[in-house]
Amino acid sequence: MTSSAEHTPERPDSTAAADIADAGARRGRVRARRAAVMAVPATLVTAGLLVLTAEGALGVQFAISGMPFTVTATELKGEGFAQFGNLREMAEGSPNAGDTGGQVLTVTSVIKDATLTKLCQSVDLGGTNLIIRAGEGAKKVRATDLTTDSTQLSGDAAFKNIEIGNDASKLNKAGDLGKGPIGVFSQQSDTVRIKKLRQTNYATTAGVFKLPGLKLGFGESGC
């Protein structure tokens, strides 16, 4: 008599090994696609950032990439200025974290209304630089609620009615975005003017960002 329970023979070892190899190949292709997704947007995201910032779609706080970029202008003029210390966070697991724990200590500058002459922004992509220029003609770059997170800032600066040593949570000259954490040293002024501006930034946001004569391209050297 034949048993009601049929026995299924085991597959040869060669078949099982082939299945394992196929699974490994599929995982390899998935990892390769993920790596490509991480690499390609490096040039595209910066261009998209300008659009999102210009439309006010980005909030003041977001996970920074951890890639610094340079900003220069022959002159910056602003109405309603505030500046205070801040701590910015990279996305969890960012390859740019290094030994920083994914945190960057920055100086946050907020300007209620700003104009910039001959703006240049560049980011080193490793062997080449993505460069954005604007405001080189008669029309200047204009921004409202302009916020930058910098690790370096230089230029010839002049302030009107400056206050130094305020608690950052009590600032009132640059609007709601111009308030920092309680207990943090800060300064503010009615106006700011900086000639030969140069910044190393990790983040920039604005409510409105108008870039007349926008030019985007690649070059061996940055701004």
CA torsion, ordered 68, 74, 77, 78, to nearest 10 deg = 0
| Measured distance CA(68)–CA(106) in Å, rounded | 11
| Measured distance CA(157)–CA(149) in Å, rounded | 18
To which residue do tokens 């920039």 refer? 204
Write phi, then psi, for 138 (nearest 5 degrees). Answer: -70, -30
Write phi, then psi, for 97 (nearest 5 degrees). Answer: -65, -40
In this prediction the pTM is 0.73
At residue 62, the pLDDT reads 84
**In 3D, which of 107, 93, 125 has the Cα closest to residue 217?**
125
At residue 13, the pLDDT reads 53
| Measured distance CA(134)–CA(207) in Å, rounded | 18
At residue 4, the pLDDT reads 46
At residue 77, the pLDDT reads 98
At residue 127, the pLDDT reads 87
At residue 61, the pLDDT reads 65
The series of mean pLDDT values per 10 residues for the chain, 223 residues long, is 46 49 44 32 34 39 91 98 94 92 94 98 94 96 96 97 96 94 94 97 96 96 93
At residue 44, the pLDDT reads 34
At residue 183, the pLDDT reads 93
**In 3D, which of 134, 132, 125 has the Cα closest to residue 41?**
125
